[in-house]
Amino acid sequence: MNGDHRGIDTAPSFPGIAARAAETDATGRIPLQNWKELTDSGYLRLFHSPDIGGTGADGPTQAAAMEALARACAGTFWAATVSALLCAKLISTYGDTREHARLLRPLLSGERLATFAVVEKTAGSDSGTFRTTVRPAGPAGSDFVITGEKSRIANSPAADLAVVLARREKLPGDDGPDWCLAFVDLRQPRVQRYAIPHMGLRGMSWGGIVFDDAHVAAADVVPVPIEELAEGMAWGWLFIAFAAIGIAESALAASVRHARQRVSFGRPLAHMEGVQAQLAESHAQIDAARLLAHRVTCERAAGRSARDLIGMLKIYATEMAVGVAARAVQIHGAAGVTSGHEVERLYRDAQMNVIGGFASNRLREQVAEGLGLGPAVYRAFDWVTPSGLGRDPVGLDGLVHAAGDGA
Amino acid sequence: MLSHTLANGAADADGGGLSLVEWARELAGRVVRPTAAERDRDRRWDQGIFAELSGARSGPGLAGPLVPRALGGGGLSATRTCALLEGLGDGGRDPGLALAVGVHAVLATVLLRAFGNPRQQRRYLPRMASGEWVGAVSLRQTQGAAHASTVTARPAAAGLGGWVLSGELDLVAGAPVAHHFLVIAAHDDGSRTAFVVDRTTPGLLINDVGPVAMRTCPWGQVMLDGCVVPEDAVLSTVGGAADEVEPLLAALDWVFLSAPWLGVMRALTRDAIADAREHHLFGRPVVHAQSARFTLADQAAQCELASGLLYRAAGQFDGGGRPSREDAAAARLFVAAAARAVTEGAARLPGALGTTGDHLIERAHRDALFFAETGGGTEVLRPVIAASLLGIG
Ligand SMILES: Cc1cc2nc3c(=O)[nH]c(=O)nc-3n(C[C@H](O)[C@H](O)[C@H](O)COP(=O)(O)OP(=O)(O)OC[C@H]3O[C@@H](n4cnc5c(N)ncnc54)[C@H](O)[C@@H]3O)c2cc1C
């Protein structure tokens, strides 16, 4: 794509990571060189202020860097950004930057990897179904233990540290929030982990964590009202939107290349108007998403919430990228469905973003609420039959035949 | 609700803390909106409304925002002009009138600003900026020569100088009330020249025909029956339209005639949210129905996405650089699809098609279909974008 990335000269680029993207996908592991390249580029520090070890990059630079890494390798982008952006923001926002500097510093230096564990085996969209609980370790003890199983979590098999959403077992008289974030060291015996094979973003590890009365220091249990968490979660929606945009851009770039090279009916596909129309629609849609993504990144970098806009962006960008990747596969013909081909990988990667970090339709609910429509109202589906629309009609001769059929 | 600054992120603030979008929205809400449905039904253009928009007391007039101040215009940036048109679409709820204003205020004036010689600029621009003279353009001529030229230019008889223009133009926005017309005519060798042709030119005739949509825009068909125009009617160079006037005219159409639609989309979305609160279906409030909620969420998103593309493309006209045809075309391609998606989404909500109110949904539905075909429609916009992506074409 000859997309003009204006004004992003200071943002890093990731040629080595891009060159290894196919290998990363095939082996299901992020090569060590990728981590080195990430650390050297300064990517892990961009999103944070200097007081916690960040470089405080401005909005355009943050956006350009996320877009560039997502284009290079979506799996690597996810793994790095869950840890260095999402988890570090959660710790610095809801934790104490002085107390938790010991956790933040290694995440920003790339020595440690973090995971954000919210969802369990039950319906991930509904926090009411989550059971993982933190309780005091002993009657008078100041530390805590955590029990429960988190599942389908990005980075969880490989991570060193988990930011866990858990219920608080409350003692009588405790009228604090029902929920907390627990910062749990995963390198301890009472933590088991498993990997789940997955369709796309294969370089990123993904799976479950079982906490069996695992230890959590008292200072690492932060009570948080669950409504306030959406603000932190929005960092997740934002980076996932960038993942989608990067994937879509790569898919379009591959399509343009292929259309120029592949000859059919005596001319390159590029001269076929049907192909051109697909490229043009993809281009306009990617740009629409990209401009909104850059706008909201600047809002966030300036300290504003922009949560509703980020919700809209996540929905649009992730579904858009699936469409763009599907067009790319079509333009590539059989090459596009051959294992190991770039667009085959992008097609698998694209779908992951629609589900990860809140599936689209669950998010639409939140956006609707932000439009002033009130919270979602769930009621058993029972209004069609009473309205007379729940029955098949009688035939043209009325009840005579209907009765006959029943006999 | 989304905060105002977010919803209008790209528009800059005017004095008094109101953004220009808000200011224009308020003005159009007062001046245009009350009679929009009635004028639409009667197919009527109201010169008084245009005069009032042109001579707005408290802010820039809508007739010549891009005309330099020294020539009596508003001297606004392209970005602010885009905001003005967005506000006009939103507050006025009248896509036809907004089209007429956009054609005059942007297409007709900017071509003279960009390509007129000093004499032409002094003659036309101050009176266009004040709203006294209306400039008209055929929407058939805003896509270069994608459509075959219907007007020819031949040198006038020896000794007389000037040119003889013959042919006809339809879809001329502003024709019945215009003082002059932009006409692009083809020479025998296929090259094309842009002319500014005064209404009083002998042989020029205007027929009262127009499309079914955009009924509040004054439409007409212009017949040129051997019209002799002086050398000074030539805009820029003879035979130079393909390199000069046509690319600019196309980009202006794609960007600035889309701007009122962003406003219309915002108005429809706001209405739909308010309506959803009032109506019930199956005994439940519509705001409890998930499909309605999702539709509204997607409508709001379409507004923000369209806004980003539109203001990027408009911003490229500021700062002296060359605007990108690819970005202008992408903005139009997206806005036209978004306008249809938002209108359709709004129409599907229970209670949308009421017998009272100003029937914006019905009018917008009809007009959005028309809008999607102007500027060349997908059949011109997609090849333009693809050519730029592929480096061919
Ligand atoms: C790539 C990837 C990475 C992930 N990383 C993490 C992570 O780091 N941490 C973590 O905690 N989790 C993670 N997840 C889990 C993810 O958050 C959940 O999969 C997601 O929230 C949906 O939950 P679910 O899969 O149980 O689907 P369900 O909740 O069962 O939903 C199934 C479907 O029903 C729809 N649905 C659900 N509720 C509603 C509703 N109220 N209205 C309308 N439709 C609804 C959903 O949109 C979805 O389409 C990840 C998932 C993926 C795919």
pLDDT digits (tens, 9 = 90+) for B319-328: 888 999 999 9
Domain boundary among A49, A77, A112: A112
Whether residues A233 and A217 share a domain: the answer is no
Whether residues A362 and A334 share a domain: the answer is yes
Give the Cα-Cα-Cα angle A356, A357, A363 (nearest 5 degrees).
Answer: 110
pTM here is: 0.91
Residue by residue, DSSP assigns B217-245 as: S-EEEEEEEEEEE-GGGEESSTT-TTTTH
Whether residues A348 and A275 share a domain: the answer is yes
Domain boundary among A95, A112, A129: A112
Domain-embedded: residue A160: yes
Domain-embedded: residue A254: yes
In chain B, residues under CATH classification 1.20.140.10 are 246-390
What's the pLDDT at A401? 52
CATH assignment of the domain containing A156? 2.40.110.10
In chain B, residues under CATH classification 2.40.110.10 are 137-239
- Choose the mutation target among A245, A256, A263, A276 for the interface with B, i.e. most B CBs under 10 Å: A276
Q: Is the CB of A159 under 6 A from ligand 1?
A: no
| 3-class secondary structure, B173 | strand
Domain B246-390, CATH number (from 2.60.40.10, 1.20.140.10, 1.10.287.70, 3.30.70.20): 1.20.140.10
Q: Which residue intervals of A264-355 are DSSP H helices?
A: 273-301, 307-332, 342-355
Q: Range of A191's domain?
A: 115-224
Distance CA B9, CA A406 (A): 64
| 3-class secondary structure, A263 | strand
Whether residues A71 and A21 share a domain: the answer is yes
- Give the pLDDT confidence of B19-70 residue by residue, as tens digits: 999 999 999 999 999 999 999 999 999 999 999 999 977 778 999 999 999 9
Of A283, A299, A306, the CB nearest to B385: A283
Whether residues A175 and A247 share a domain: the answer is no
Amino acid identity for residue A202 in this structure? R
Per-residue CA distances from A112 to A162, A219, B8, B42, B357 (Å) = 11, 19, 41, 71, 61
**In which residue are the tokens 């699809």 written?**
B337
Instruction: List CB contacts of A247: < 8 A, sequence separation 6 or more.
Output: A70, A71, A74, A321, A324, A325, A346, A349, A350, A353
Of B293, B334, B389, the CB nearest to A368: B293
Q: Is the CB of A211 under 6 A from ligand 1?
A: no
**In which residue are the tokens 């919270």 written?**
A375
Continuous segment of H or E residues that includes residue A134: strand A133-136
| Smallest CA–CA distance from B283 into chain A, residue | A383
Instruction: List CB contacts of B236: < 8 A, sequence separation 6 or more.
Output: B115, B194, B244, B245
| CA of B149 vs chain A CAs: smallest distance (Å) | 23
Whether residues A248 and A356 share a domain: the answer is yes
A126 CA distance to ligand 1 middle (Å): 9
In chain B, residues under CATH classification 1.10.540.10 are 20-134
Q: Is the CB of A357 under 6 A from ligand 1?
A: yes
Q: Is the CB of A127 under 6 A from ligand 1?
A: no
Dihedral sign, CA of B99, B104, B110, B115? positive
| 3-class secondary structure, B184 | strand
State which of A355, A363, A379 you would mutate to test the pocket of ligand 1, scoring each by most atoms of that ligand within 8 A of its C-beta.
A355
B9: chain A residues, CB-CB within 8 Å? 295
Helices and strands per DSSP (H, E), number in chain B: 14, 10
Cβ A280–B385 below 8 Å, yes or no? yes
Strand partners, A169: none
Distance CA B260, CA B251 (A): 15
- Give the pLDDT confidence of A179-203 residue by residue, as tens digits: 999 999 999 999 999 999 999 999 9
Q: Give chain A's mean pLDDT.
A: 93
With a cut of 70, say whether residue A173 has pLDDT above it: yes
Tell the burial category of A105 from Cβ atoms under 10 Å away from its Cβ (0-12, 13-18, 19+): middle
Q: What is the DSSP letter of B358?
A: -
What's the pLDDT at B5? 35
Whether residues A163 and A60 share a domain: the answer is no
With a cut of 80, say whether residue A100 has pLDDT above it: yes
Distance CA B315, CA B231 (A): 35
CB A208 within 8 A of CB A181: no
What's the pLDDT at A140? 62
**Percent of all residues in chain A with a pLDDT value above 70, rounded to a whole number:** 95
Lookup: tokens for A224: 């948080």
With a cut of 80, say whether residue A315 has pLDDT above it: yes
Give the Cα-Cα-Cα angle A323, A73, A193 (nearest 5 degrees).
Answer: 100
Dihedral sign, CA of A271, A275, A281, A284? negative
Tell the burial category of A274 from Cβ atoms under 10 Å away from its Cβ (0-12, 13-18, 19+): exposed
What's the pLDDT at B353? 78
What's the pLDDT at A191? 98
CATH assignment of the domain containing A335? 1.20.140.10
What's the pLDDT at A9? 46
Domain-embedded: residue A405: no
Per-residue CA distances from A126 to A118, A179, A392, B293 (Å) = 10, 14, 35, 18
Q: Which residue intervals of B70-117 are DSSP H helices?
A: 78-92, 95-102, 109-115
Strand partners, B19: B13
| 3-class secondary structure, A104 | helix
| 3-class secondary structure, A246 | helix
Q: Under CATH, domain B137-239 is a member of which superfamily? A: Butyryl-CoA Dehydrogenase, subunit A, domain 2 (2.40.110.10)
B300 CA distance to ligand 1 middle (Å): 23
Q: Is the CB of A362 under 6 A from ligand 1?
A: yes
State which of A87, A125, A315 you would mutate to test the pocket of ligand 1, scoring each by most atoms of that ligand within 8 A of its C-beta.
A125
State which of A86, A132, A362 you would mutate to test the pocket of ligand 1, scoring each by most atoms of that ligand within 8 A of its C-beta.
A362
CATH assignment of the domain containing A23? 1.10.540.10
Cβ A312–B296 below 8 Å, yes or no? no
Amino acid identity for residue A221 in this structure? V
Distance CA A295, CA A63 (A): 9
A319 CA distance to ligand 1 middle (Å): 15
Domain-embedded: residue A5: no
A355 CA distance to ligand 1 middle (Å): 5
Whether residues A237 and A218 share a domain: the answer is no
Cβ A367–B385 below 8 Å, yes or no? no
Tell the burial category of B281 from Cβ atoms under 10 Å away from its Cβ (0-12, 13-18, 19+): middle
| CA of A295 vs chain B CAs: smallest distance (Å) | 8
What's the pLDDT at B124? 98
- Give the pLDDT confidence of A19-61 residue by residue, as tens digits: 999 999 999 999 999 999 999 999 999 999 999 999 999 999 9
Question: Using 50, 70 and 90 to split pLDDT, how confident is the model at A141?
Answer: low
What's the pLDDT at A7? 38
| CA of A283 vs chain B CAs: smallest distance (Å) | 8
What's the pLDDT at B157? 85
Question: Using 50, 70 and 90 to split pLDDT, how confident is the model at B10?
Answer: very low
Q: How many domains does chain A have?
A: 3
Lookup: tokens for B279: 């109506």
Domain B20-134, CATH number (from 3.40.50.700, 3.30.420.40, 1.10.1580.10, 1.10.540.10): 1.10.540.10
Whether residues A103 and A34 share a domain: the answer is yes
A92 CA distance to ligand 1 middle (Å): 25
- Choose the mutation target among A281, A290, A313, A389 for the interface with B, i.e. most B CBs under 10 Å: A281
Q: Is the CB of A355 under 6 A from ligand 1?
A: yes
Domain-embedded: residue A382: no
Give the Cα-Cα-Cα angle A213, A215, A220 (nearest 5 degrees).
Answer: 130
Domain-embedded: residue A396: no
CB A253 within 8 A of CB B363: no
Phi, psi of A140 (to 5 degrees): -110, 5
Nearest CA to ligand 1 atom 39: A362
Closest CA to A313 of B151, B308, B264, B350: B308
Continuous segment of H or E residues that includes residue B348: helix B325-348
Least confident residue range of A216-230, A251-265, B1-15, B294-308: B1-15
A309 CA distance to ligand 1 middle (Å): 20
Whether residues A362 and A233 share a domain: the answer is yes
* Radius of gyration of chain B measured on its C-alpha atoms: 21
What's the pLDDT at B366? 97
Cβ B309–A370 below 8 Å, yes or no? no
Number of C-alpha atoms within 13 angstroms, CB side, residue A287? 32
Distance CA B246, CA A268 (A): 29
| CA of B107 vs chain A CAs: smallest distance (Å) | 24
CB A398 within 8 A of CB A392: no
Distance CA B366, CA A259 (A): 37
CB A379 within 8 A of CB B288: yes
A331: chain B residues, CB-CB within 8 Å? none
Other Cβ atoms closer than 10 A to A351: 20
